[in-house]
Structure 1
């Protein structure tokens, strides 16, 4: 048995077509599989997974033809994965078209005029209803062909440089058509079932989960690459940091999430190993909501208007009220750098020339004074949130509180509130957080996976904060389809300058990795694209693997 201790938090969904966060992502990564996947520790080298070989790609970049592995069984060891399952997996995601989900990364390049279409609706009986705003089955049939039992073709509407990388993300997981149809198919009942149940070809099966407590994975006895060495995985939610670290030190856990500010409590501890310093593509940020949904917010804690952050001067004040250096040096223990935008350092499209916002309270005060309302003179109350157990985000909230309250003591009041992960996600999705501290773990290693979600009007975070900019939309879309690397790199540098001027997000840290586990763990490696751990590659001595 392998026991991993985490801060807690439940999945948003277990449906690959819907889930777009890392708690569910870790489960999906271990129970489902994609056509292609990452080769070991590399974030750019892909290998065939459910595909028998890497695809044939047409010279114009519009056609991808995959030959599938034969004899791959779903976890019941009765149902074989075929081209019909691949097509069905993508069809159901495109037809649902959840605006807060991950399927934009396929729909935008498989469906003509994709952004003109909305999310599917269901009638009172739970059947999917087609409207003028719906993606249709005919559109899906034009985009994805099952050409035989083991051959699938994707027909793109425009070239998309990172399409293969996008297919490696959890959203591209292959589900069983027979299983989904048996449990409701393309109805509300079918989607609801898939939100809380799994049935994949991956190395593990989700045997049990208990809300706010644990996930239990067991080895898939039908797994086509051979049964996993670790037969049972327990992902245990232990919100209290001290309790989690103590359980790790006592040997009750094989590995655990340890906040960077707690490195001193695990360094030089006999029996523990630390893997750190590898650059990640994860970035932390403070997002500002231009259209605050004040429903459910306590008016005694938040009295700003819904369009508070629509004023760029207010946003600029927040950019300069956060102490980036203190956060990186103390909270992140120096294991991070300050980003200068959404594209992380080390990724294609990054430019060192783009400036960063700095901690400058005098400048922050000046911006608040020159806003449409002089907020230094009038004062305001604002509630900011973090997810319980995430001490780094709690500290970040306290730092923005300190910075803002220093601008007008007694007039500006910031309240810091912790929420359980599921409620935090609900607040985020419903636009109820005026300002949100979060992190972004990329779906695939390409700048489009940062710009589209954060700055495109139809993107996950842009839509959540009420941001829309048609000019920027067009520039983001053009950069995504440009196949000349030099031209594309310049397009992204130009976009980084545009993003700096918009001041929608304060990019607080780009972390290096920090993993703590028992020193007997075998097979661990860091890949910046993984949702935490990929358990199939891990092992531990037989004498320690007793269930």
Structure 2
């Protein structure tokens, strides 16, 4: 079903329900942002549920959003500064780095306490120390934890890969348990608040990785006390706490202000435009600024949109099918009715890689022979991304070749690479399909395609079916919850699948890591792509500082991936947000997610247009 057919009925229902919901809301004191328990943030999370708040088991943006409210990393992004820069969080200062870029000297911030919890003597949270850092990182090496992000530290710290291999081998051979106290050559404790980390080679991304939620610091006592429950019973140092009973799967999570949160303050460093936007008024205030944070889960976009329009959540990302209801299509300006209500808007161009991927280990779609490659190329050439962009994204996405999104080195000029299999080119698609052994699609089995059930993915899948049908390629759509989709991909059970990757840090090396063979599923290489020449180039670039020479290698690797076609794509979104007038200090970003601690709310009032 295309947008023209789908949108009017959705808008009619939205407007009808809006009238009734507003009347109920005006009599509903529970929607207040300030109550007997203090200030309350109510924010949307567009997923069915985070599956675990154990940092080493997290892999999705939804895991990230929830986990970093309770756990913290050594460094964080500066909230108001663009482009992104790092600053200390659990450190007292940024580390000193040796001239050869191999040795990092860290100093922990004194007085940082873990949340009060029964895992500690007398239930009082103890101080974070060096041993906690090393223990937390070692958990990423323990296969028994089902870690999703070992690739972040693989081939990085001296002796760490050897430690991982030895400890897991002992467990598998049943000759011992995983020994967290065994030394790692590159992790050197100086005292409880100082340590050194020695790298195997210079790794350009190392400091960016230390800002990622997967490297957050956890206490050993909590892991050992709660075992399998640890992922639902977080004990961190973060600005908020979460009790198990306050996590209602499929509904919401309720976090409370951490009364023992270490001194952190609203930033004084800012961009010139932040003053006029009102984002500097709370400079110097101690964080967090609210008393309670509620994440409400939305698998479908319509309930999220209605919750925003009835004041039940503080902001919303604008769902694609509601774009015309929020903005004047020609100018992209906010509609006057929303302006009168005090609603404001922001947008951000995402470091975004929207794709449909192939499992390169699949018997039908995988492989590196000419026939297998031509089959994938034919499928790619049949897909019209511009039609997807117009039908589902109001034409505001950037369509481009390769896996490197706009804004990063290696992005092709105007989005068009010298090597390209971007459709639509049905004549060439049919030719390649015949050369792959399936003339006019004859003999080609129906392809299993997995995507998530949220947003407008049902309609997008119907368009995908129609486009591929033009070359007689049939897909069998499996539309599942996002968590199930990721599980299928991690287990290599999805032959053809679709989702998006947001760059973890502003360097194309992060996107190119998606095709490095040691990162195969359940790592970030969901395509299970494996090409030795590509791996050698990746191992070269990961130690190179930014330079024209490194960018040239990025381009070479980009074009190599395009030629092998382990995915079809790409698109990058510009995300539009609407913000209710009582939400303060919200400077939109999707580069990091610990920003709720900077937000504030005032008492909710009645919309001006509803008087």
TM-score band w.r.t. shorter chain: 0.7 to 0.9
- CA contact 2:438–2:444 (8 Å) conserved in 1: no
Aligned partner (choices 222, 235, 247) of residue 179 of structure 1: 222
Greater shift in the superposed pair: 49-58 or 320-329: 320-329
- CA contact 1:276–1:512 (8 Å) conserved in 2: no
Cα–Cα, structure 1 residues 520 and 200, in superposed 2: closer, same or farther, change >3 Å? Answer: same
TM-score computed with the length of structure 1 as normaliser: 0.87
- 1:281-292 to 2 correspondence within 5 Å? 281-292=351-362
Match of 1:204 in 2: 240
**Deviation of residue 193 (structure 1)?**
3.2
Match of 1:302 in 2: none
**Deviation of residue 367 (structure 1)?**
1.4
What SS does the corresponding residue of 1:415 show, helix, strand or coil?
Answer: strand
CA RMSD across the alignment: 2.9
Cα–Cα, structure 1 residues 505 and 64, in superposed 2: closer, same or farther, change >3 Å? Answer: same
Match of 2:318 in 1: 258
Aligned partner (choices 369, 375, 382) of residue 447 of structure 2: 382
- CA contact 2:354–2:569 (8 Å) conserved in 1: yes
**Deviation of residue 386 (structure 1)?**
2.0
Match of 2:28 in 1: none
Match of 1:458 in 2: 519
Long gaps (5+) in structure 2: 1-39, 117-123, 265-285, 328-334, 606-611
What is the CA–CA distance in structure 2 between the aligned matches of 1:116 and 1:155, rounded to whole Å? 14
- 1:504-543 to 2 correspondence within 5 Å? 504-531=566-593, 534-542=595-603
**1:195 and 2:231 aligned:** yes
**Deviation of residue 500 (structure 1)?**
1.4
**Deviation of residue 12 (structure 1)?**
3.4
- 1:200-279 to 2 correspondence within 5 Å? 200-207=236-243, 208-224=246-262, 225=264, 226-267=286-327, 268=335, 269=338, 270-271=340-341, 273-279=343-349
Greater shift in the superposed pair: 362-371 or 414-423: 414-423
Deviation string 1:265-317 (CA, Å, 9 cap, x unpaired) is: 3342243635344221122111011233xxxxxxxxxxxxx333430011101
- CA contact 1:521–1:540 (8 Å) conserved in 2: yes
Greater shift in the superposed pair: 434-443 or 329-338: 329-338
- CA contact 1:261–1:330 (8 Å) conserved in 2: no
- 1:58-73 to 2 correspondence within 5 Å? 58-73=98-113
**1:483 and 2:545 aligned:** yes
Aligned partner (choices 420, 423, 447) of residue 508 of structure 2: 447
**Deviation of residue 420 (structure 1)?**
1.6
Cα–Cα, structure 1 residues 140 and 9, in superposed 2: closer, same or farther, change >3 Å? Answer: farther
What is the CA–CA distance in structure 1 between the aligned matches of 2:181 and 2:550, rounded to whole Å? 33
**Deviation of residue 361 (structure 1)?**
1.9
- CA contact 1:97–1:120 (8 Å) conserved in 2: no
Match of 1:26 in 2: 65
What is the CA–CA distance in structure 2 between the aligned matches of 1:100 and 1:90, rounded to whole Å? 11
What SS does the corresponding residue of 1:316 show, helix, strand or coil?
Answer: helix
Cα–Cα, structure 1 residues 473 and 379, in superposed 2: closer, same or farther, change >3 Å? Answer: closer
Match of 1:295 in 2: none
**1:426 and 2:487 aligned:** yes
**Deviation of residue 161 (structure 1)?**
0.9
What SS does the corresponding residue of 1:94 show, helix, strand or coil?
Answer: coil
What is the CA–CA distance in structure 2 between the aligned matches of 1:25 and 1:431, rounded to whole Å? 23
What is the CA–CA distance in structure 2 between the aligned matches of 1:112 and 1:371, rounded to whole Å? 46
What is the CA–CA distance in structure 2 between the aligned matches of 1:323 and 1:277, rounded to whole Å? 25
Match of 1:406 in 2: 470
- CA contact 1:94–1:135 (8 Å) conserved in 2: no
- CA contact 1:17–1:93 (8 Å) conserved in 2: yes
What is the CA–CA distance in structure 2 between the aligned matches of 1:478 and 1:459, rounded to whole Å? 19
What is the CA–CA distance in structure 1 between the aligned matches of 2:207 and 2:223, rounded to whole Å? 25
What is the CA–CA distance in structure 2 between the aligned matches of 1:152 and 1:365, rounded to whole Å? 60
- CA contact 2:585–2:598 (8 Å) conserved in 1: yes
Match of 1:303 in 2: none
- CA contact 1:230–1:536 (8 Å) conserved in 2: yes
Cα–Cα, structure 1 residues 515 and 31, in superposed 2: closer, same or farther, change >3 Å? Answer: same
**Deviation of residue 96 (structure 1)?**
3.5
- CA contact 1:86–1:152 (8 Å) conserved in 2: no
Cα–Cα, structure 1 residues 286 and 272, in superposed 2: closer, same or farther, change >3 Å? Answer: farther
- 1:131-146 to 2 correspondence within 5 Å? 141-146=184-189
- CA contact 1:214–1:235 (8 Å) conserved in 2: yes
- CA contact 1:289–1:433 (8 Å) conserved in 2: yes
Match of 2:4 in 1: none
TM-score computed with the length of structure 2 as normaliser: 0.78
Deviation string 1:29-75 (CA, Å, 9 cap, x unpaired) is: 21111111101143531111111111000111111111111011112
Cα–Cα, structure 1 residues 7 and 330, in superposed 2: closer, same or farther, change >3 Å? Answer: same
Cα–Cα, structure 1 residues 102 and 322, in superposed 2: closer, same or farther, change >3 Å? Answer: same
What SS does the corresponding residue of 1:69 show, helix, strand or coil?
Answer: coil
**Deviation of residue 483 (structure 1)?**
2.9
What SS does the corresponding residue of 1:473 show, helix, strand or coil?
Answer: helix
What is the CA–CA distance in structure 1 between the aligned matches of 2:163 and 2:412, rounded to whole Å? 32
What is the CA–CA distance in structure 2 between the aligned matches of 1:181 and 1:445, rounded to whole Å? 36
Deviation string 1:242-279 (CA, Å, 9 cap, x unpaired) is: 23212211112222343223212334224363534422
Long gaps (5+) in structure 1: 184-189, 293-305
What SS does the corresponding residue of 1:31 show, helix, strand or coil?
Answer: coil
**Deviation of residue 375 (structure 1)?**
5.9
Cα–Cα, structure 1 residues 277 and 402, in superposed 2: closer, same or farther, change >3 Å? Answer: same
What SS does the corresponding residue of 1:107 show, helix, strand or coil?
Answer: coil
**Deviation of residue 16 (structure 1)?**
0.9
**Deviation of residue 81 (structure 1)?**
1.0
Aligned partner (choices 128, 135, 143) of residue 81 of structure 1: 128
What SS does the corresponding residue of 2:44 show, helix, strand or coil?
Answer: strand
What is the CA–CA distance in structure 1 between the aligned matches of 2:345 and 2:55, rounded to whole Å? 30
What is the CA–CA distance in structure 1 between the aligned matches of 2:531 and 2:179, rounded to whole Å? 27
Deviation string 1:454-512 (CA, Å, 9 cap, x unpaired) is: 34343446754332212211111111012362221221121111111111112231112
What is the CA–CA distance in structure 1 between the aligned matches of 2:61 and 2:536, rounded to whole Å? 29
